[in-house]
Chain A
């Protein structure tokens, strides 16, 4: 298995959000704006790459029976690093993401990849997989937050930490606040998954004409 294949796997074919259906909690909660989505995605990527690397390095030393708690401690350490870094360098983002930063430790994506991939593969492959899954997760968050932020606030790419007010795409009277509230998250993700299923079915029934 080449490194490129391990990396590209997490982007589309086994996209953690849209295909593996992992990490739903942060996906729904954080996709209220593209900036938040990218921030969470990059934080999760950092933790994913770090934990995949360490788990791969120590995979022959960890006893089978206590492997899950060991993985969890490794992941929690990286999450603590990211948490403190964000508190220092991007305080507004840290405030908005709130409890979902420490909750990266129970993000199913990270534990699932440690268990299914990093515990069985070499260091470089695990790092590639970590990057691929992390960037795939970030892409999914960006897609969802583009929809929700645009329909919910009318503005996209608003970034309080960098004093950027965002690009206004929709007039004020066409906004619907419900998109950035809880129901908007569920409905956007549900419809996006339905759309992706429909596109996949069309592609596979289309057959020869790719």
Chain B
């Protein structure tokens, strides 16, 4: 049981990294990665939302949609749950840490349209995970996202002072750099995590 959870946890971070391998969460990855501090803040918010969203959407799917035969309403139901959750998180952060709230700015409500959150929710159902496995998967996806975005922010902070060709300044060089980072993570493909954790 724990072994399977460890496999899910580490594969979502390294082998199937949500940003660099699955292409989920690219918009905030490119948009919020100019500085390490904002990247960390964004990453933590995403971990929080992903963990809660994974749990809540699992509950909605298995306790409401499936018993009532409303499986086809999955997309609508999930996105509404996520939108409500992000609204809630926004209000909580505003109360608990106004500085973080100001730092994240418009990017906090944009977590609703973060493909990673809806993507993780849908993936949990498609992989047939239990509630615990789904929550762990969501948390791991968030950790992987945070790791990728912080790594990327570190590189971009350096890129700002490098002689980049004018046509490539901004997005183009950022994308090529992300591609190189993605190649690095390709090195994790084929890891037998099951064997590592004695499954």
Contacts and interface: CB of A to CB of B under 8 A. Distances in A.
B122 A102 contact: yes
A195 interface: yes
Contacts, number: 123
Interface string A85-107: 00000000000000100110110
Interface stretch (A8-16, A68-76, A156-164): A68-76
A166 interface: no
Contacts of B26: 24-25, 28
A182 B115 contact: no
Interface in B25-82: 25-27, 30, 72-76, 78-80
B83 interface: yes
Nearest to A83: B75
A183 interface: yes
B23 A105 contact: no
Contacts of B172: 190-191, 193-194, 197
B75 A68 contact: no
Q: Is the interface of B mostly helix, strand, loop or mixed?
A: helix
B89 interface: no
B165 interface: yes
A103 B118 contact: yes
Interface centre among B23, B165, B174 (most CB of A within 10 A): B23
Contacts of A182: 20-21, 23, 179, 182, 185-186
B171 interface: yes
B88 interface: no
B171 A193 contact: yes
Contacts of A73: 76, 79-80
B123 interface: yes
Interface residues of B, number: 46
A80 B119 contact: no
Contact of B72 (A22, A84, A187, A193): A84
B158 interface: no
Q: What band does the interface of chain A fall in when counting residues whose beta carbon is under 8 Å from B?
A: 35 or more
Interface in A90-144: 99, 102-103, 105-106, 108, 111
B113 to A, nearest CB: 4
Given A181-B186, A197-B167, A201-B166, A187 B114 contact: no
B23 A190 contact: no
A154 B23 CA distance: 23
Contact of A80 (B73, B114, B118): B73
A76 B167 CA distance: 37
Interface in B169-199: 171-180, 182-183, 185-186
Interface of A: 21-22, 24-26, 28-29, 68-69, 72-73, 76-77, 79-80, 83-84, 99, 102-103, 105-106, 108, 111, 178, 181-187, 189-191, 193-195, 197-198, 201
Rank and list the top 7 A-B pairs by shortest CB-CB distance, nearest first. A190-B175, A186-B179, A194-B172, A187-B179, A198-B167, A190-B176, A29-B23
